[in-house]
A and B are shown apart, each in its own frame.
Chain A
């Protein structure tokens, strides 16, 4: 197991350990909410939220948050049309703002003021993406200004990877009892995995997001490591069929 797979497994364990809210949402959304509370506790932070965005900026919205206050801070970005989560999605890279009272105020005048009114002075946004496939962003909020530590940054990126996996796999994702990390090293260094995603896109005539989901779904169904399936696709030994489930 590589270091990053170990961290992914640890993150999934922390999410498993979070108490389940009996009134919480079922399925993927419920697990994303536990992901938010687990990361909040682990960092620690004041709150964490996950929002979805779309290429045309028409759809999207907040899907999970660690608290009602964090959810408001997420939603505020959509009503104001500015904020770290939108910038992280648009620029395809993390947006790290350790001080909303100074630099952050110039970056997002409306959002920074509103966040400060809510008592939040630092925000760190991480895109949920794998290459060109992107679905949204994860935001970390803190009452105190200041940078995330190197370890905190690693944790936040790891949780963002887990969130991306959950959103790609959707409701009928990985079979019960099997975490993403058991089979998946798609987020590790294997270039073939990414090349295979592009190939599946062409083979199935679908978007890259869907190609990723179908490719992973095929690996789960066959019980094979994603990297093995990728190698077969890149070598031309395997083509997913358009009518495959």
Chain B
């Protein structure tokens, strides 16, 4: 189980990102990284439902998990889909014994080096708006305390998306959710622009963009929007031949 001081740090940092003018994509990426930290052997990903009730990729703590999230969306099976459909958590599922439940997904997740999987619903009143997915490289079971912590992190993700308490919260949540989904698309477009400009792959392009945003204290979504709407707006980042390689 996660140590108390480490847990405190997780919540303090997550709460910090919720203050004022936070960037929703950055917030969800941070949240998946902290979700992964709850267990030393884990990685995490997060999916949100669009207006079609279809889950879309939003954030992941590692590239291998991102691919597994996309795989679930592509084949419409896996813990996140089950969690989203039923509104209940999927806990302590041994991937070696899950081939019956997820014939395509389970072998793929095992191949990626994972042994067990968990998924927690993002809930708002009666509505399920997404799922937080955690993969472990060992088969150790989550303890009840860990389960509560992970569900709380999923709840924090919902609160972050809601941003304001309001009697109009149903409307606000829909507005926020759609805005967040579109931010993800903008970031992908900006990755494409930077990848082509600097002749690097899209993951390296994302690191360039994130590094630049952090160094200059810009919100990631704002930078992505600027790059796509006006490629000359940040010459340090968008001029060919001058990539700002992130320092290790």
- Flag whether A154 is at the interface (Cβ < 8 A): yes
Contact string against B for A residues 125-153, beta-carbon threshold 8 Å, 1 for contact and 0 otherwise:
00101111100000000000001001001
User: A132 and B178 in contact (CB under 8 A), knowing A154-B52, A201-B231?
Assistant: no
From 144 to 173 in chain A, residues with beta carbon under 8 angstroms from any chain B beta carbon are 147, 150, 153-154, 157-158
A5 — nearest CB in chain B belongs to which residue? B52
- Flag whether A103 is at the interface (Cβ < 8 A): yes
**Contact residues in A for B196 (Cβ distance below 8 Å):** 198-199, 201-203
Contact yes or no, B53 A3, CB < 8 A:
yes
Contact yes or no, A131 B189, CB < 8 A:
yes
- Flag whether A92 is at the interface (Cβ < 8 A): yes
**Contact residues in A for B189 (Cβ distance below 8 Å):** 131-133, 194-195, 197-198, 201, 208
**Contact residues in A for B194 (Cβ distance below 8 Å):** 198
Contact string against A for B residues 169-184, beta-carbon threshold 8 Å, 1 for contact and 0 otherwise:
0110011101100110
**Contact residues in B for A189 (Cβ distance below 8 Å):** 54-57, 70, 73-74
Q: Smallest Cβ distance from A56 to chain B, in angstroms? A: 11
* Bound complex: CA A234 to CA B197 (Å): 13
State which of A97, A198, A200 has its C-beta within 8 Å of the C-beta of B190: A198
A200 — nearest CB in chain B belongs to which residue? B192
- Flag whether A20 is at the interface (Cβ < 8 A): no
Contact string against B for A residues 31-61, beta-carbon threshold 8 Å, 1 for contact and 0 otherwise:
0000000000000000000000001000000
- Flag whether A2 is at the interface (Cβ < 8 A): yes
User: A153 and B228 in contact (CB under 8 A), knowing A92-B179, A131-B185, A208-B189?
Assistant: no
Contact yes or no, B171 A194, CB < 8 A:
no
A8 — nearest CB in chain B belongs to which residue? B52
Q: Smallest Cβ distance from B4 to chain A, in angstroms? A: 38
A91 — nearest CB in chain B belongs to which residue? B179
Interface of A is mostly: helix
Q: How many residues from A make CB contacts under 8 Å with B?
A: 41
**Contact residues in A for B55 (Cβ distance below 8 Å):** 189
State which of B51, B168, B192 has its C-beta within 8 Å of the C-beta of A234: B192
**Contact residues in A for B186 (Cβ distance below 8 Å):** 131-132
* Bound complex: CA A194 to CA B184 (Å): 10
**Contact residues in B for A196 (Cβ distance below 8 Å):** 192
State which of B175, B190, B225 has its C-beta within 8 Å of the C-beta of A93: B175
User: A197 and B54 in contact (CB under 8 A), knowing A93-B182, A129-B182?
Assistant: no
State which of B51, B54, B175, B182 has its C-beta within 8 Å of the C-beta of A131: B182
- Flag whether B202 is at the interface (Cβ < 8 A): yes
A235 — nearest CB in chain B belongs to which residue? B201
A207 — nearest CB in chain B belongs to which residue? B229
Contact string against A for B residues 183-216, beta-carbon threshold 8 Å, 1 for contact and 0 otherwise:
1011111111111110000100000000000000
Question: How many A-B residue pairs lie within 8 Å, measured between CB atoms?
Answer: 123
From 1 to 27 in chain B, residues with beta carbon under 8 angstroms from any chain A beta carbon are none
Contact yes or no, A132 B175, CB < 8 A:
no
Contact yes or no, A198 B228, CB < 8 A:
yes
State which of B54, B225, B228 has its C-beta within 8 Å of the C-beta of A3: B54
Q: Smallest Cβ distance from A12 to chain B, in angstroms? A: 15
Q: Smallest Cβ distance from A230 to chain B, in angstroms? A: 9
- Flag whether B224 is at the interface (Cβ < 8 A): yes
Contact yes or no, A132 B225, CB < 8 A:
yes
User: A157 and B54 in contact (CB under 8 A), knowing A131-B228, A198-B193, A201-B231?
Assistant: no
**Contact residues in A for B50 (Cβ distance below 8 Å):** 4, 157
Q: Smallest Cβ distance from A198 to chain B, in angstroms? A: 2
Contact yes or no, B192 A93, CB < 8 A:
no
Q: Smallest Cβ distance from B125 to chain A, in angstroms? A: 12
**Contact residues in B for A217 (Cβ distance below 8 Å):** none
Q: Smallest Cβ distance from A213 to chain B, in angstroms? A: 14
Q: Smallest Cβ distance from A64 to chain B, in angstroms? A: 21
Contact string against B for A residues 77-112, beta-carbon threshold 8 Å, 1 for contact and 0 otherwise:
000000000000001111111100001000000000
Name B's A-contacting residues (CB within 8 A).
50-57, 70, 73-74, 76, 168, 170-171, 174-176, 178-179, 182-183, 185-197, 202, 224-225, 228-229, 231
The 7 sampled A-B contact pairs (Cβ below 8 Å) are A2-B76, A94-B178, A131-B182, A131-B186, A189-B74, A191-B57, A201-B189
Closest 8 CB pairs of A and B: A198-B192, A93-B179, A131-B185, A194-B188, A132-B228, A157-B51, A202-B196, A195-B192
Beyond the given A129-B182, A188-B54, A191-B188, could you list 10 further A-B residue pairs with CB under 8 A, ordered by the A residue number? Answer: A3-B52, A91-B175, A95-B175, A98-B171, A131-B188, A132-B225, A153-B51, A198-B188, A198-B195, A202-B192
